[in-house]
């Protein structure tokens, strides 16, 4: 349940279209050391058995991902998460408020074999999350253990938010590919470290700073905490074309990601004509890809207000543009 008691993170009825056979085939592939393309409510993931170093190595190879960047362990429920990680009272409060949903908790590892060294990049902490998408939860429940699943893009590229985009990126590496429809959130999960001191926001996401602070009080600033957030490379989420952020208008030859009222035209992709941040987040990565396909000289992006979900959108845009956030 989401914090307001609704199923707002979950795609409506998406499970209906999936036969039990698909879910069991995915669980079997994971047990056999294979990779599975898995929908979540945030973005598509490329999953493997977290306890199997060979399977995890195949993920790093498929994505071309640097091995110092640790992965998120996805589990079916809070009980499984608590067996893997040491979740203190604050972590439990966040889990209760936002799971299943787009929140990842980084906590001390309790069962180091359940999420192998390679998956944790050798750290003594582990990232855990219970996704909200019913199809991924069904696969996790059928599998039983933890599934590490980075976003299914090749390293450095925008995360895939539709089955087709995911399949185009890494589908050829997957033993089973599950279509769960377009991702409702469209941005990766919020990552919060709950270690010593106040909880620390490592990656802004769909669960906003204000929502987190309503549960655990003021967060510590993550700036300069590179050791605890090893995956935050400068150039990330990047399409092929250069990205120019905070653009008032496109220059000749540029594609334009508008926000709010803007005249339609060639090369214009409006993230949200009504200026709605939730809609803009859901459209961001698929529009970056669509803009890229028209081969512009650059992709100009309108200013996005830095409040609520805008913090996560601007974080991704700064990285797509090559600036450290
Ligand atoms: O929404 C999501 O989180 C998606 C879907 C598929 O669940 N997954 C995702 O995974 O975005 P990935 O691998 O692209 O991003 C994982 C992030 C990275 O920034 C990584 O550095 C951080 O989580 N992370 C993982 N383990 C960590 C740890 N022990 N300490 C600090 N950061 C960690
Ligand atoms: Mg990623």
pTM for the model stands at: 0.90
Candidates 26, 3, 294; CA nearest to 137 is 26
Domain spanning 12-228: which superfamily?
DHBP synthase (3.90.870.10)
CB atoms within 10 A of CB 37: 26
How far is the CA of 176 from the CAs of 42, 48, 137, in angstroms? 19, 11, 16
User: Could you list the pLDDT tens digit for every one of the 325 residues in the chain?
Assistant: 333 333 444 444 444 556 889 999 999 999 999 999 999 999 999 999 999 999 999 999 999 888 788 999 999 999 999 999 999 999 999 999 999 999 999 999 999 999 999 999 999 999 999 999 999 999 999 999 999 999 999 988 999 999 999 999 999 999 999 999 999 999 999 999 999 999 999 999 999 999 999 999 999 976 554 434 445 555 677 888 999 999 999 999 999 999 999 999 999 999 999 999 999 999 999 999 999 999 999 999 999 999 999 999 999 999 999 875 3
Alpha-carbon span 43 to 181, nearest angstrom: 11
- pLDDT for residue 323: 74
Q: Residues near 230 by Cβ (< 8 Å), separated by ≥ 6?
A: 68, 69, 70, 121, 123
229 lines ligand 1 (CB under 6 A): yes
Which listed ligand is nearest to 140 at the C-alpha? 1
CATH class of the region 243-320: alpha beta
- pLDDT for residue 227: 39
Which listed ligand is nearest to 46 at the C-alpha? 1
183 lines ligand 1 (CB under 6 A): no
- Kind of pairing between the strands at 103-108 and 190-193: parallel
How do the domains of the chain map onto residue ranges? 12-228, 243-320
């Amino acid at each position: 349940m989401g914090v307001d008691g609704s199923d707002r993170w979950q795609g409506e009825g998406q499970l209906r279209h999936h036969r039990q056979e698909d879910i069991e085939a995915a669980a079997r592939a994971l047990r056999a050391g294979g990779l599975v393309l898995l929908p979540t409510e945030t973005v598509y993931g490329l999953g493997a058995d977290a306890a199997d170093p060979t399977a995890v190595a195949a993920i790093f190879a498929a994505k071309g991902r640097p091995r110092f960047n640790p992965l998120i362990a996805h589990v079916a429920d809070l009980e499984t998460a608590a067996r893997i990680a040491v979740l203190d009272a604050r972590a439990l409060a966040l889990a209760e408020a936002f799971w299943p949903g787009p929140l990842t908790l980084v906590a001390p590892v309790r069962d180091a074999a359940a999420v192998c060294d390679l998956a944790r990049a050798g750290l003594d902490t582990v990232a855990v999350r219970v996704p909200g998408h019913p199809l991924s939860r069904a696969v996790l429940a059928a599998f039983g253990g933890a599934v590490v699943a980075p976003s299914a893009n090749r390293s450095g590229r925008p995360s895939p938010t539709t089955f087709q985009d995911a399949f185009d990126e890494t589908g050829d590496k997957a033993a089973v590919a599950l279509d769960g429809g377009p991702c409702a959130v469209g941005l990766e999960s919020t990552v919060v470290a709950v270690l010593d001191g106040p909880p620390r926001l490592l990656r802004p996401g769909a669960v906003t700073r204000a929502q987190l602070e309503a549960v655990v009080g003021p967060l510590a600033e993550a700036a300069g905490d590179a050791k605890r957030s090893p995956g935050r490379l400068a150039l990330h989420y990047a399409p092929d074309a250069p990205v120019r952020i905070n653009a008032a208008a496109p220059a000749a030859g540029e594609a334009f990601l508008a926000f709010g009222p803007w005249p339609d035209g060639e090369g214009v992709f409006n993230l949200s004509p009504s200026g709605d941040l939730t809609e803009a987040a859901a459209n961001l990565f698929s529009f970056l890809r669509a803009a890229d396909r028209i081969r512009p000289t650059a992709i100009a992006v309108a200013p996005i207000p830095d409040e609520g979900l805008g913090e996560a959108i601007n974080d991704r845009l700064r990285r797509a543009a090559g600036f450290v956030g």
